[in-house]
Amino acid sequence: LWLGATEAFLLIENLTGYCFDPVPEGILVNGLPDKWTCLQKGHKWHGYDVSDHTFLLTFCCLLMVEETAIFRRYLAQGHPAGVPLRLIFLLNVLLLLLWNFLLACTVVYLYDYSHKVVGAAIATLCWFLTYRCWYRCPCSPGRPGAGLFLRGIPKEATRQN
């Protein structure tokens, strides 16, 4: 998913950009066809650069929230919340806080606003297609926790096993 998204972002930048040289009178636009040729010749390229940082951080935050939602179902069924489970949950929360901090730094310091919005929107779309569409198909590996929790069995019966 990440590789496909970054390739798509590079394609968007290549299709929407132009090659130029800054000169004292302004800019001199060259007719070079793509970013790679332009940069190899020593010129500069300006295109619509979708924020891959915002994409990755937004997608990772959504993914982490989706994956850790299983803890709620696990505890609701009366399973114990031992030290290892609490530690894993705490580490997930700390990682999520770090990603949110990095996302805030990205929003403040990098890219144009529209580039960040598009990156976040594409990340949200990828999350939606993964967790709300593909994981519900019979050919997918299933949503987080699929098959781990038995339905219809009382809590006392699961504790005896």
Beta bridge partners of 18: 46
Low-confidence spans in the chain with pLDDT less than 70: 24-28, 145-161
Domain parsing of the chain, residue ranges: 1-49, 50-138
For 79, how many CA atoms within 13 A lie in the half-sphere containing its CB? 17
Residue 154 confidence (pLDDT): 45
Residue 152 confidence (pLDDT): 44
- Distance between CA atoms of residues 137 and 118, nearest Å: 27
Residue 146: CB partners within 8 Å, gap ≥ 6? 135
Residue 26 confidence (pLDDT): 61
Segment 83-119, tens digit of pLDDT: 888 888 889 999 999 999 999 998 888 778 888 999 9
Please give the single-letter amino acid code of residue 153. I
89 burial type by CB count under 10 A (0-12 exposed, 13-18 middle, 19+ buried): middle
